[in-house]
Amino acid sequence: MTKHDTDCGTVAKPIKSKFEVPWSYWLCVFATLVIAGVGVSLAFSKDERDRRTGFACSIIFLTFGVGGLIWPILRRREGNGIQTAFVHFFDMHCDAIIFPMSRAKQLITVLGAMFLCVGIATMILVADDSSNRVKGGIALVFYAAVLGLGFKSLLGQRKGIYLVPNGIVWNELFRAPCFVAWPVITEAALFGKKERHVSKPILSFGLKVSEPALIQTSKWTLKTVRQPKIQHGWDFYFFEETIVAPLPTVVETVQYYLRHPEARSEIGSSSALARIEKIETAAPQQVY
């Protein structure tokens, strides 16, 4: 696999997204902040053990609570980012259509990992025994890795879904890019992914492929691709809030080029963006 830089080009006319945050999400954020408040109160306790517990509790839950609170605000401020670009993926040097991943999720991941690294490092310094230092060291290594990967994703090529004349480049956070040729794709559709502690399935865009071995990616990523198929029936998927574009637009665009091979040569041009703008996003979609 060679370098995969992008040179951004024309941006499509903004399309209003129907991104919504369920009430259960806000309930979880509120509960997390309440626990963080309890931790803060314990951090000022006279008992040394309670102070350590409160310090650890406040760092962990405050990080996730504040991150969960500001993420929907940042996400809703993101405009539609559908655009064309000249890309360099898998020895391909061509024009592409990009359905970008939300930058807000990447930014929250980086800031959260940074705060946790500082907090955990502080806890290691004030730990009262070696076993707690070892546990803290393991956690510090993990979040340091998350921080490094998060920074790499922000500084590198934009994450998201890339349509190229030969197929689709699926570029996720924390995984190597995957190239799926058009003939390998068997299905592209919306489906409801059921998540724990969420009453309503999360609208997602999924891809099915005929044979995972035909996917071009790293060996480690190829192993991880098989797990979603076993769990959910889809080889690749993105949540609605992850892609900065209405998912029906993404689905209808991919389905169009699946059905019309003769039109794939226009991918990456202004005529492709014009076609996307004409797609009826309000048309009924079958959700699995």
Per the domain annotation, does 65 fall within a domain?
yes
Q: Pairing state of beta strands 92-100 and 6-11?
A: unpaired
What is the pTM assigned to this prediction?
A: 0.77
Contact 68, 32 (CB under 8 A): yes
Per the domain annotation, does 84 fall within a domain?
yes
269 and 181, same domain (yes or no): yes
Q: Please tell me what DSSP assigns to residue 19.
A: -
124 and 189, same domain (yes or no): no
Per the domain annotation, does 283 fall within a domain?
no
Q: Which of 124, 155, 186 is the last residue of a domain?
A: 155
Q: How far apart are CA 245 and CA 253, in angstroms?
A: 12
Enumerate residues 6+ apart whose C-beta is below 8 A from 29.
Answer: 65, 68, 69
97 and 183, same domain (yes or no): yes
pLDDT at residue 284, as a whole number: 47
Per the domain annotation, does 165 fall within a domain?
yes
91 and 217, same domain (yes or no): yes
53 and 137, same domain (yes or no): yes
124 and 250, same domain (yes or no): no
Q: How far apart are CA 217 and CA 224, in angstroms?
A: 11
pLDDT at residue 1, as a whole number: 42
59 and 179, same domain (yes or no): no
Q: Which of 122, 137, 155 is the last residue of a domain?
A: 155
117 and 38, same domain (yes or no): yes
Q: Report how far apart the first and last C-alpha atoms of the chain are (Å, whole number).
A: 34
145 and 165, same domain (yes or no): no
Whole domain around residue 87: which residue ranges?
6-15+79-101+158-278
Per the domain annotation, does 287 fall within a domain?
no
201 and 83, same domain (yes or no): yes
SS3 call for 141: helix
253 and 205, same domain (yes or no): yes
Per the domain annotation, does 1 fall within a domain?
no
pLDDT averages per 10-residue partition of the chain, 288 residues: 51 52 80 87 78 79 87 78 84 89 85 86 76 82 85 78 94 88 92 67 86 86 73 82 86 92 90 80 47
90 and 194, same domain (yes or no): yes
Per the domain annotation, does 226 fall within a domain?
yes
Q: Which of 115, 139, 155 is the last residue of a domain?
A: 155
SS3 call for 177: coil
pLDDT at residue 16, as a whole number: 45
Q: How far apart are CA 33 and CA 69, in angstroms?
A: 9
Per the domain annotation, does 68 fall within a domain?
yes
> Count of domains in the chain?
2
Tell how far CA 198 is from the center of its chain: 18
